[in-house]
Structure 1
Amino acid sequence: MMRGTSASAGIGIGKAVVVVETELKIKKEAIADPEAEKVRFQAAVKQAIEETEVLAKDLAARVGPKDAEILNGHLLLFSDMFLMGEIENIIAGENVNSEYAIENVCNTYADTFASMGNELMQQRATDMHDIKTRMQKILMEVSSVDISSLPEGSVIVAKDLTPSMTA
């Protein structure tokens, strides 16, 4: 028997669909051209922003603006010059690949948020993991699972449902 946390109250009756996301294997790789790597990183951030804007607008139209607030928060993180600057500094300072720099910086922030006693700040840790994974998937050209294509009446079983997945 499997145990987990339900996403909503009540019971779900339907065909269980197990959603398994691709596990990203992030490796530290030396790079020869940090400026080119920063351009690659910036392109991934730009793409993540564009995709998030589409998701947020769609979610606001279908469900309501309140439900799109999480994705609007992600947009703020993607646009945070300090956060993105830290990632670029690691790329240039350590001559490492973007995926590795993103992993280090975002995990540091997520760990800090998770250790705080405030529930809202702990939720920011989840947001940080979500944006980290989205940027890395873009860089690694890995597709996310599209749960919107599941048949109506499906009961989703997943290790985690991120805000971007559920949008």
Structure 2
Amino acid sequence: MSNLKYFDGSDLGARFGAMCHYSQAVVLPSGIVKLSGQGGWDPVTGSLSPLEEKEGNDSGSAGEKQFLDVTTQISNALNSIDTVLRSAGCTNGWSDVYQVRSFHTNLDSDAFFTMVAKVKEKCGADHRPVWTAVGVDKLGLEGMKVEIEVEAILPTK
């Protein structure tokens, strides 16, 4: 498989990739770009907990671990996708995306319509990739509320 090209997109992506032995994206010989699922972690720290970043601890007021809300996680994941797409050669970012798959630990109407609005922001009103939304019990890391993967096509030259 030496004709495949792999990308991480950012230092954080490379760190996660090394830790879990995967790449953030692969470009197939056909020009299709497939991204690994992107979570809603903070793009600088990689944390899903705002308290870890602000106070250096992970406890909420009731002793429960607090996590970033679903809107923040969706925004962070979509921004991460844009970064990885561009590193893999999709110079148009979200305009090159043709397929979206989103996995949600709570696929209620708030999460669903937040996802709709945020993807529309990224793609523009005239670009509507195909989309599958799936409700799941749990995602890869504690506190993950959403994981989003996309497929795109490299722009023609």
TM norm. shorter chain > 0.5: no
Larger RCO (CA within 8 A; separation ≥ 6): 1
Which structure dedicates a bigger proportion of its chain to helix? 1
- Give the TM-score of the pair, scaled to structure 2: 0.29
Larger Rg: 1
- Give the TM-score of the pair, scaled to structure 1: 0.28
Which structure dedicates a bigger proportion of its chain to strand? 2
